[in-house]
Amino acid sequence: MSILHTVVFALSHPAGSVEEARFLDDGERILTGIPGVQEFTVRRQVSEKSDLRWQFSMRFADQDAYDAYDAHPDHQGFVAERWRTEVADFQEYDFVERG
């Protein structure tokens, strides 16, 4: 059963800044290079009801693929070097199909 992994987040960088664009571009480049990542998207929140302005979303074929991604050195490095220092707030959601 596939897993849809999503994180919605707010960056510490000003909206429209070079730093914001660099984080989003680097995140996409680094995370899509990890085996098992499918259907990666970056979306911007347009509702004023949430301060979490960005979303990364990706799909994994199964729990093993998700676990391998989570443990991958590139993912761990991105979290340690970029996520923890540049993300002001976030929520993580992992979904499987109803059934």
DSSP assignments along 7-76, one per residue: EEEEESSPTT-HHHHHHHHHHHHHHHTSTT-EEEEEEE---TT-S--EEEEEEESSHHHHHHHHH-HHHH
Distances (CA, A) of 86 to 1, 26, 36: 32, 12, 25
| Adjacent-strand bridge partners of 87 | 11
Classify domain 3-95 at the CATH topology level.
Alpha-Beta Plaits (3.30.70)
In this prediction the pTM is 0.94
**Which pLDDT belongs to residue 62?**
97
Is the pLDDT reported for residue 23 higher than 90? yes
Mean pLDDT of 12-33: 98
Mean pLDDT of 49-76: 97
Q: What is the separation of C-alpha 62 from the centre of its chain, rounded to a whole number of angstroms?
A: 18
**Which pLDDT belongs to residue 8?**
98
Quick: pLDDT tens for 27-43. Answer: 999 999 999 999 999 99
CA angle 88/93/97 to nearest 5° reads 165
Which tokens in the block code for residue 38? 């499918």
**Which pLDDT belongs to residue 99?**
78
Is the pLDDT reported for residue 87 higher than 90? yes
In this prediction, residue 63 has a pLDDT band, given cuts at 50, 70 and 90, of very high
In this prediction, residue 52 has a pLDDT band, given cuts at 50, 70 and 90, of very high
